[in-house]
A = this chain, B = another copy of it.
């Protein structure tokens, strides 16, 4: 078992990475000094697969656990579901020292974390992420929340988990498309902060796609370590933490205009990373070679790197970006790269330039524009 520590003073916590960890959730929760009652929030996909294991582990450790199951899917991140969970917690008489266990992907973690952040003005919570994306990204760092019709994650809180348990065994059953979507965030860590990690991903992508246990353990732990390091230096995103949003401004806007159905988050930010790379070449002196490496690695992971947009979609995309939380004075602030492994946040970019960067046919050495967009579209429609 690998252990990554997130250093946040009194709010510090450990991320456990390894096989067979679902059965240890109860034992690890016992070490936190919490109350006896807890609620396991999971969804209709993950609950039937892993709910019993976690409930048994908690019961064996002496906890009085109730399971709350929400519908699977991004649409669950809305107020109605938060209220339903709150009512379930009140019915189970959860108290201030009680806690919430989030068992599922990013949607469940974000929802359950927000429920925990707001129930009784905040109770403890434990993340048990069951997708690659949730293990390497959304379960770490304390950003929790829900969506509005107007945009993704527009409502939420900063509420750090007390513990994160990443059981690598649960990734075995993950659908291929979801697994690949998680790799988009892994690649991001290399781009924003760790050129050596990026090189290792270039060498080991085939092993990673084959879900080789050793490679997977290294990738999850290394990704968590990069995120933990950034979050430890800037918990509430007053500056540095913004670099974690590399590719996300465009990604979130793409998700918003397609009503959170068509795109997996990782797919949307894969496109977003390519757009950010192109803007970086134009504005930050990023080399064409590095931009092509980013695109090539995303493509090897089977991720979309472009998208065909109608004029109406472009307009809606521009509007959605204006609502991004990172907008200051109506201007979109981007994270852009100087090179693989080094980015800068807070770069102002006119929305029109972003949209233009998405729609240009650049015809780079490795990817013909038409072919690229065709590839992306087929990925998305898959």
Contacts and interface: CB of A to CB of B under 8 A. Distances in A.
24 contacts: A83-B148, A86-B148, A87-B148, A87-B149, A90-B148, A90-B151, A90-B323, A93-B322, A93-B323, A95-B327, A95-B328, A96-B325, A96-B326, A96-B328, A97-B328, A117-B157, A118-B155, A118-B157, A119-B155, A120-B154, A121-B156, A121-B157, A121-B158, A157-B157
Given A79-B79, A87-B149, 8 more contacts: A35-B329, A79-B82, A87-B148, A93-B322, A95-B327, A119-B155, A120-B155, A121-B155
At the interface, is chain A mostly helix, strand, loop or mixed?
A: mixed
Number of copies: 2
6 nearest A-B pairs in the assembled complex, by CB-CB distance: A90-B150, A79-B83, A121-B156, A120-B325, A118-B155, A79-B79
Interface in A35-72: 35
Contacts of A155: 86, 118-121
A91 interface: yes
B79 A150 contact: no
A328 B35 CA distance: 9
A122 interface: yes
A143 interface: yes
A143 B236 CA distance: 20
